[in-house]
Amino acid sequence: MSALFKIRLLLFFLAVGFAVTAVSIHFTFNKNQILELDAKTIETNLHKKEVFVKRFLNNKVNFNSLRTIHNNPQVAAGLIKDFRDKRSIYLHTYYNNQLVFWGANRIAPATDAGLKDGSNRIKTQNGWYEAIKKSSGSFSVVCIIPIKAEYPFQNKYLKNTFAPDLIKENNLEVADLDDIRVYNIKNSDGQFIISVKLKSSVTNSFYSKLELLMFMLAALLITIFVNYLCVLLASKSYIKSAIAIFFSYFLGIKLLSLQFPVLDTYFNISIFDPRHFSGGYFLRSLGDFVLSTVLVSWFLCFVYSYRFKIQLSNKPVSKTAGGIIFVLLGLIIYLIANQQSDVFYNLVTKSNINFDLTNILYLDSYSWVGILLMFIGAFNLYLVLEILLAIGKTLPLTNPHRLRIFIAGLMLIIIMQIVFHDYSLYILLFSTIVFIRGWEFYTNNERYKFLSFLFVVLLFAIIASIKLSSFQFLKEREQRKIIAYKLESADDPNAVLLFFSLEQEIRKDDAITDYFKQPQVDNVALRSKLQKLYFEGYLARYDFEVFTYKNGQQETSKDIASIDLFKNLVLAGSIKVSENFYRINNTFGFQHYFAILPIKDGDLQVGTLIITLKSKTFKDPGSVPEILVDSKMNADKDLDNYSFAFYLNDRLLNQNGTYIYNLVNNDFKGKDKNFVFIEKNGYNHLIYKPNYKKVIVVSLPVTTWIMKLASVSFLFLVMTGLSALIIVIHQIWTILHDDTFRLQQNKWTYLVSRNRILYRTRIQASLVAGIIFTLLIVGLITYISISKQFRQQLEDDVVKKVNQINNGLEKNKMFNQGSLADNEEALHAFADINATDLNLFDVQGKLVFTTQNKIYEYGFLEPRMNAFAYIYMSRYQRSEFLNVEQVGRMEFIAAYKPVRNSRNETIAYLGLPYFSNESDYDQRIGQYLNTLINVYALVLVVIVLFAIFLANQITYPLTLVGKSLSEIKIDGKNEPIEWKSNDEIGSLIKEYNHMIIALEESAKKLARSERESAWREMAKQVAHEIKNPLTPLKLGVQLLEKSWKENDVNFNRKFEKFSKSFIEQIESLSLIASEFSNFAKLPDTPFESINLVDMIEKSMEAFQSVGPDIQFTYPKKEIFVNGSKDHLLRIFNNLIKNAIEAIPESREKIIGINLSLSSGNVIINVSDNGKGIPEELREKIFNPNFTTKSSGTGLGLAFVKQAVENMLGSIHFETEPGRGTTFHIILPLA
């Protein structure tokens, strides 16, 4: 058992160990242990914070320094950074139970009267906290530690999770009183703080992560072990069986993953969530897609590594059959390419993944996974192409035949596509890739040129861009149809969702009940209150009116609307959308709701409140920060990029977006109940007519060539980078699997590997790599610089705007009289005029006014200034201050200015929060980044062309010298190279010209010397060979002479005996003379067309009497070669005779002769089961006069080699000591 097999077997047992560990974890650790583990993690981290706070407060110096911290801005700023920003601890100080300094405005109780010294639990609107209080007289310090956030709703900025510095996982939630399986978290003193329980679905615990890791490692190691077994099987020439086993293994894994989707159902990994992507049974999710792609890639890489050893049949294939098979190979690559296209069509159209490459910064992790899958799909397609090209090379076809079949097939496909109106550039571009790779494969010894590589990558990028654009266009059309249906509908699901809670809150509002108890209802004040409390945020996009009626249906408002009017609307068919809200039917281009709300004092109804809501024009939707939008509400982001209009009786009713629609509909003539798409004025318009009176138009800008170029550029850069990464990984893998590689010799191995690349290619690659590296550095620096400039510009815009508003406020009468006036309408007017949000704080930092009341009403922030901002404005007396603030997980910039009265006294602080700064910043940076990529891609193409041109110019002299060197003939005339420049290359060429002159002289001397040496050697051999039979002849003559002189009575018998011996020796001399004569006449023998099979069979007949088992296999057809019958017969006689003599007498003599056809040649393999050829004799085996036998001329194999080469063929051998030798002869067909 080899060491390598032991290592692989160890991997298998290790995989089994991982699998057993995973199963043990699954059945050993239950939910109670997970609850305890996570809860103790929270408890331990909470104790660490408590210890820090107590140690800090128990230090007298620290505690006393806090007494004056509100007047010491430097210490206050440092403490906020240390406590709030670094440790997430909010420190506040109090005098006489009143807040004087706050370290954060997420939670800052106005009084600490309800808190005892030591640990306290606090529950607010935005979460759970632990407060640690220490008092000294009237002074006290409260440090608040966040435990868990709990918001009234959630979105990407608001998450109801435990503090991340307490625990990262999100498996726990606060327990209710009736929960049984809970864990009580206590403080470091053992006092109860909070009870926690497990969520209904626990997927992110430490044990589940460990279990998943064990399963993944087990699957990986088992796959590596199976891969090794298949490699072992393939090394024994069972390649097809190895491929079949590996394919079955991967298919089994895929079927198991479909039958038992534990990655989704048990581990609940988000990438396996079908809500992101679902492409049918085999591709249920994006995770399934990734798994399938990895399995296919691994399998194809395995097949690719054995592509040159795959034989379709053990028997030779005829030209006709080869042509048919080549057509089938082309059909296979065509079908696989279309299948890949269909798969990625599903990926784009059946997913919610963003593939918009015009703004790269908006691509999320799923987008990058999708792009990576596209690249791997192209890579897999390339592997299939390489495999099929290698199989096609084994077919008996010439390159012109292959080219004709390729062109005919391509023309047939194009004609079919034109006939069926399904023509696409995809097939033409992919066929170009096939042509380029096929041409290099069959004519350039399967090697890639650098230019071809980049061009193929560019073609793949163009294909991916075209396909992605077309798929997105189809997907967008369907989405636009849905938008048209949505616009036709007069319903607003988001508003309806809010109505359910809204009607309950209004009816329970005691202040509203008190309004109806008053003798006279103040409708203006009531409307202002309702707007402030209930109709901001999302509902700000509606104009609303309020009608109040006391009991007895007495109208109390000045409007003439009667309550019966609304009741009649209900009877007329208005649709009830909640308990008290209704939607009016037959509205077009807007939504119209009304509510009939009974107002009760206990069980007594004191009046009726009627609210009407009519959607504003789309031009004025109202400003709603994303943080105030519940994730349950469907965002209208799908409308952001569109323009749309409503026409009623061909008159413009309403419009939205950047496209300017005409007041009279003369452009958009659709069909009833049908969708019509047209292009006009750079926009693609969807026209939908619900009926003959109504028209809805949804418009989208047409994708420009610049945007398409951005997509191609981006994909080209990504594919080039990933391709380079694969090449590097392949090189490292090759080096590590080289038996000669040693870690201490890695530099030499690298140099050897690098020298396999052409010098020209190295120059090109070096130039391109160097310039790309430079461009990346310049681009990175430019990107960072521009990013800072964009951010600075945003900040400058905010500061400029806050200055404008501040100047307006200070000039207003309500501020220049000496005190802060409370005039919300005027402040709202300022905000609306400047299209921004405003906050106004008094000099104590308390909130006076805000345009976003919900942020404070929901408890996201305390109604106070940001701690840093207040320190810099009130203590450092800054004239303006720009601060980065946070609400939940949303960061934004806020600008502050002091508001002064006519006496130059600060009476308030104006704050301008810019909630959309990050989205604006991302949009600007995205546009710049796309432009940068476009420019860099074009520069890269120019650089590549320049590098190729420059490398060709640099290496042209070397190519010229190399070509001349390759054409040097020792026995012929060599032409010198002409070079005019007197440079380094000129010196090289001059030396070359001198060299060929000297070479010509040396060749003459060498030829003369070799001839003399050869004749000397030949004379020695002839003398030696002749001497052998002459010696017995001389002895025989001497014996006969003696017998004759002595009158020997047996003289006649002896004479007859010696005569026979003399004749044998003379025949030996004649044979020797014939051998040397034939060897000398080899080049002069005329050739003719000869049936090779007949010649081999004649040679076999000559050895039938010797008795070896000669097994002859050949194609069932005639095979003709150009040669000499006598020479061919002698070739096979020599080879068979040598094979017989190489087999020991104790072994059955088995000789195999096999004929096969390949690319216009016939391959003849003559094998034996003899002793093999020793290592030290292999180099001399074809030398003249060399022999391993005690007798013979040594010209047998020398004659064979010379005769084969004269027929424009080649011969080589493979041998294994103790097992036999195989001679391989390749001859061109006649």
Given this model, what pLDDT does residue 1033 score? 66
pLDDT category of residue 387 using cuts at 50, 70 and 90: very high
| Helices (H), ranges, 444-492 | 450-488
Q: How far apart are the first and last CA of the chain?
A: 50
Q: What is the mean pLDDT of residues 154-163?
A: 91
Q: What is the mean pLDDT of residues 1107-1117?
A: 80
Print the SS3 string covering 47-78.
Answer: HHHHHHHHHHHHCHHHHHHHHHHHHCHHHHHH
- How far apart (Å, rounded) are the C-alpha atoms in residues 807 and 801? 10
Given this model, what pLDDT does residue 1194 score? 47
**What is the SS3 assignment for 584?**
coil
Q: Which two tokens stand for residue 1070?
A: 């004649």
Give the neighbor-by-neighbor strand order of the sheet with 90-95. 98-102, 90-95, 139-149, 127-136, 118-124
**What is the SS3 assignment for 883?**
strand
The secondary element (H helix, E strand) that includes residue 1097 is helix 1092-1102
Q: What is the mean pLDDT of residues 51-72?
A: 93
Q: Tell me the DSSP string of 204-234.
A: -SHHHHHHHHHHHHHHHHHHHHHHHHHHHHH
> Which of 1134, 1125, 1095, 1128 has the alpha carbon at shortest distance from 1112?
1095
Those residues with Cβ within 8 angstroms of residue 1199's Cβ, 6 or more apart along the chain or in another chain: 1078, 1079, 1082, 1130, 1131, 1134
Of residues 772 and 608, more confidently modeled: 608
Given this model, what pLDDT does residue 56 score? 94
pLDDT above 60 for 749: no
Q: Which two tokens stand for residue 528?
A: 């202002």
1001-1013 pLDDT, tens digit each: 777 777 677 666 6
Q: Which two tokens stand for residue 803?
A: 């200055």
Q: Which two tokens stand for residue 813?
A: 């009468």
CB–CB of 810/900 below 8 Å? yes
> Which of 451, 426, 462, 427 has the alpha carbon at shortest distance from 709?
462
- How far apart (Å, rounded) are the C-alpha atoms in residues 598 and 551? 10
Helix axes 1051-1080, 984-1045, angle to 10 degrees: 170
Those residues with Cβ within 8 angstroms of residue 435's Cβ, 6 or more apart along the chain or in another chain: 406
Those residues with Cβ within 8 angstroms of residue 788's Cβ, 6 or more apart along the chain or in another chain: none
**C-alpha distances in angstroms, 150 versus 40, 349, 859, 888?**
21, 37, 10, 11
Q: Which two tokens stand for residue 232?
A: 């072992």
Q: What is the mean pLDDT of residues 91-120?
A: 93
Instruction: Please report where in the chains the tokens 């000045």 appear, as a residue.
Output: 558
Those residues with Cβ within 8 angstroms of residue 762's Cβ, 6 or more apart along the chain or in another chain: 754
Given this model, what pLDDT does residue 758 score? 63
Percent of all residues in the chain with a pLDDT value above 70, rounded to a whole number: 86
- How far apart (Å, rounded) are the C-alpha atoms in residues 547 and 549? 7
Q: Tell me the DSSP string of 925-958.
A: HHHHHHHHHHHHHHHHHHHHHHHHHHHHHHHHHH
Given CA atoms 790, 795, 800, 802 in this order, what sign does their dihedral have?
A: positive
pLDDT above 60 for 1191: no
pLDDT category of residue 752 using cuts at 50, 70 and 90: very low
**What is the SS3 assignment for 910?**
strand
Question: What is the DSSP secondary structure assignment for residue 1122, as one 8-state letter?
Answer: E
pLDDT above 80 for 312: no
- How far apart (Å, rounded) are the C-alpha atoms in residues 132 and 187? 10
pLDDT category of residue 142 using cuts at 50, 70 and 90: very high
Cα 889 to its chain centre, rounded Å, is: 28
pLDDT category of residue 915 using cuts at 50, 70 and 90: confident
**C-alpha distances in angstroms, 35 versus 43, 184, 200, 204?**
12, 11, 12, 12
Instruction: Give the burial class of 93: count Cβ atoms within 10 A of its Cβ; 0-12 exposed, 13-18 middle, 19 or more buried.
Output: buried
Amino acid symbol at 267: F
Nearest 5°: the CA angle 159, 162, 163 is 100
- How far apart (Å, rounded) are the C-alpha atoms in residues 752 and 749? 5
Print the SS3 string covering 374-393.
Answer: HHHHHHHHHHHHHHHHHHHH
> Which of 381, 344, 391 has the alpha carbon at shortest distance from 243?
391
539-598 pLDDT, tens digit each: 878 888 888 887 654 444 444 567 778 888 888 878 888 888 998 877 887 888 999 888
Q: Which two tokens stand for residue 58?
A: 């128990």
- How far apart (Å, rounded) are the C-alpha atoms in residues 883 and 912? 10
Q: Which two tokens stand for residue 523?
A: 């409708």
CB–CB of 1121/1207 below 8 Å? yes
**C-alpha distances in angstroms, 103 versus 87, 88, 684, 721, 842?**
12, 10, 54, 48, 18
> Which of 352, 350, 354, 331 has the alpha carbon at shortest distance from 342?
350
Count CB neighbours of 822 within 10 A.
10
CB–CB of 861/887 below 8 Å? yes
pLDDT category of residue 960 using cuts at 50, 70 and 90: confident
CB–CB of 78/103 below 8 Å? no
Of residues 318 and 744, more confidently modeled: 318
Q: Pick the range with the lowest mean pLDDT from 594-598, 648-652, 731-735.
A: 731-735
- How far apart (Å, rounded) are the C-alpha atoms in residues 333 and 329? 6
Given this model, what pLDDT does residue 823 score? 67
Percent of all residues in the chain with a pLDDT value above 90, rounded to a whole number: 23
Instruction: Give the burial class of 208: count Cβ atoms within 10 A of its Cβ; 0-12 exposed, 13-18 middle, 19 or more buried.
Output: buried
- How far apart (Å, rounded) are the C-alpha atoms in residues 883 and 839? 14
Q: Which two tokens stand for residue 93?
A: 């100080």
Given the DSSP bridges, would you call strands 542-550 and 192-198 parallel, antiparallel or unpaired? unpaired
CB–CB of 641/362 below 8 Å? no
Print the SS3 string covering 264-282.
Answer: HHCCCCHHHCCCCECCCCC
- How far apart (Å, rounded) are the C-alpha atoms in residues 997 and 1003? 10
pLDDT above 90 for 321: no
CB–CB of 614/584 below 8 Å? no
> Which of 137, 135, 139, 93 has the alpha carbon at shortest distance from 117?
135
606-616 pLDDT, tens digit each: 888 889 988 87
Given this model, what pLDDT does residue 204 score? 65
